[in-house]
Amino acid sequence: MSGAAAIALVVAVVAFGSAAVFWLQARSEHKRKAAQALEAAEFERRQSSPNLAEVEEHLGHVLPRSLHALYQDKALALSSDLLIGVPNPATDEKECYVAWFEPGDLKNYTSDPWPGCEGLFRIGNNGAGDQFLVDPREMTPR
């Protein structure tokens, strides 16, 4: 094999290998984006179709009226990027920023609570990972 043929072979192998890597990467990215789109659509479906009755059945008692009122107000429950007039105990500010409200269903109540937050109901998130929690056993939660 001549030197030129060897170089051509090496270039062809490197080009083919690079093309294969780029193709696999693009395929993986496409699958990831499709999975994210499905998760987002499922979250939005759950957000727009609260089912507090299943949470009440799971807990064995009625949830606070204020929790029902939140999820009955579809415009509020589906809104995002809000400042609510409730003092923020973590920052001593007079209001809290809510990036989005969590779905009002059993999956939200039972999925992966933070340590020490077991039994609390997530109603919102500030987008930085901080959650707004309500104790569903209190009839007038704070």
Instruction: Name the residue ranges covered by the structural domains of the chain.
Output: 1-48, 50-134
pLDDT, one tens digit per residue, over 61-85 is: 999 998 999 999 999 999 999 988 8
Interval 80-90: pLDDT, tens: 999 888 887 77
Rounded Cα distance, 108 and 99, in Å: 16
pLDDT at 52 over 90: yes
For 104-132, give one letter per residue: b (16+ CB within 10 A) or e. Answer: bbbebbeeeeeeeeeebbbbbbeeeeeeb
Q: For residue 124, what pLDDT is reported?
A: 92
Distances (CA, A) of 130 to 18, 38, 107: 42, 24, 19
User: According to the model, what pLDDT value does residue 122 have?
Assistant: 92
| pLDDT value of residue 27 | 81
The answer to whether residue 142 scores a pLDDT higher than 70 is: no
Q: Where residue 117 falls among pLDDT bands split at 50, 70, 90?
A: confident
